[in-house]
Amino acid sequence: MTAPPPVGEGLWRDLARQALARLLRAYGGDRFDRCEDAVQEALLDAHRQWPEQYPDDPLGWLTVTARRRYADQARSDARRRDREVRTALLSPPVEPDVVQSDDSLLVLRLCCHPDLPRSGQVALTLRAVAGLTTAQIATVYQVPEATIAQRITRAKRRVSRLGGPLPAPGHAAERITPVLDVLYVMFTEAHHTTSGAPPRDADLAAEAIRLARLLLRSVPESTEVAGLLALMLLTEARHPARVGPDGLLKPLDEQDRSLWDGELIGEGVALVERAAPGAQPGPYLIQACIAALHAEAPDTGSTDWPEILALYRLLEHVTGRANPTITLNRVVAQAMVAGHDAALAELAALEADHPDLPRLDAVRAHLLESAGRTGEAADAYRRAITATVNLAERNHLRHRLRQVLSSSA
């Protein structure tokens, strides 16, 4: 045993995912629910014991403990198997404890089983692979937390009934659409954490990028995978400028672009330039094209806003106008092209259809402030502050409100 190093949330998440993958390899996908419970119990043991005696091999310790917990569960379930089968279950032939490079993708694809409904696929995977809480997933999808909990429970029951060992996909592109959705939500949560304290989850962002790289290696011909990875890289490149010296969030038009990571921008733009020509437009590739236009512009004023507006309109069309957040972003681009009055009219129409849309009042406040309507902007900022649960965003909105009030005094 060695002195305990600091154990961050990212390490816990990574260890839990790898331990779960090992148990699934050993016991099969039909035991998903039981394997996940065993890993969670082992994590509780680790939280209690590691501060006093930190293991030399944390993953090995966690895996062995989880297997013991799994065995305890199986022994107590006398109704499911007789003694001989139970004994065989508790002593399965397993592979050596070597981390497989594709374990994470295998678990991703298991959770995205085609017999599960799409909502269940994504919710279950975000819990099992990304380690997100039901509250975080509910915030991303703008639905009640109880709804997400029900989706996860139903999906786990369905996976348990499917039976069979951990499935190796028939081909690399199998189940790719829900896998892409999971990675996108992982990365979105990393850069806009539910609580906002901290404003960014660096470990989760790095893991989402790592998995996207693995996925692109397995399906290099997929323009949507290339688009998602490019979007992640171009967004990650702006991170150094996203928080100012005062600790407040900096919106895109206020960021010091000299702080952006040129290497990540170069890699992201190169991916877009390779994937976009002749490609069938998909939501992730379109968003990557938008991010590339922002990344290549020296400042907000010289950004190609008409092209960005056109891309947002294409994105709305491709997604069937099912995502009001895309429309909200399109309204911002429209303000840069057609003026604030036209954008505010669009915003009112959007609010009529989606009155509880997050960030709607924040966007309205920004447009009103830009139009010089400071009194209305202050009211909108107050409403936005009340509706925002993210601490970092709330602090930013309070700062903007103080600026509006001081300018109108």
Burial class (CB in 10 A: 0-12, 13-18, 19+), 376: middle
Predicted pLDDT at 246: 83
SS3 annotation, 293-323: HHHHCCCCCCCCHHHHHHHHHHHHHHCCCCC
Predicted pLDDT at 284: 97
Predicted pLDDT at 190: 82
Predicted pLDDT at 162: 66
Cβ atoms of 286 and 315 within 8 Å: the answer is: yes
**What is the per-residue burial (b if ≥16 Cβ within 10 Å, else e) of 96-106?**
eeeeeebbbbb
Q: How far apart are CA 162 and CA 31, in angstroms?
A: 10
Q: pLDDT of the chain along its 409 residues, tens only?
A: 444 455 566 677 888 888 888 888 777 766 777 888 888 889 888 888 888 888 888 888 999 998 888 877 776 654 444 433 333 333 333 333 333 445 667 777 777 777 777 777 778 877 777 777 888 788 777 678 888 888 888 887 777 776 655 455 556 566 788 889 889 988 988 887 665 556 677 888 888 899 899 889 989 999 999 999 999 999 999 999 998 888 888 999 999 999 999 999 999 999 999 999 999 999 999 999 999 999 999 999 999 999 999 999 999 999 999 899 999 999 999 999 999 999 999 999 999 999 988 899 999 999 999 999 999 999 999 999 998 878 888 999 999 999 999 987 6
**What is the per-residue burial (b if ≥16 Cβ within 10 Å, else e) of 23-56?**
bbbbbbbbbbebbbbbbebbbeebeeebeeebbe
Predicted pLDDT at 89: 34
96-101: which pairs have CB atoms within 8 A and are 24 or more residues apart?
97/22, 97/59, 97/60, 97/63, 99/18, 99/59, 100/21, 100/25, 101/214
What lies within 8 Å, CB to CB, of 105 at 6+ separation is 179, 211, 214, 215, 218
What lies within 8 Å, CB to CB, of 58 at 6+ separation is 11, 15, 46, 50
Cβ atoms of 88 and 41 within 8 Å: the answer is: no
Predicted pLDDT at 15: 86
Predicted pLDDT at 234: 98
- Enter the DSSP assignment of 168: P
Q: How far apart are CA 374 and CA 292, in angstroms?
A: 33
Predicted pLDDT at 107: 73
User: Positive or negative, the Cα torsion across 161, 162, 167, 172?
Assistant: negative
Q: How far apart are CA 108 and CA 168, in angstroms?
A: 11
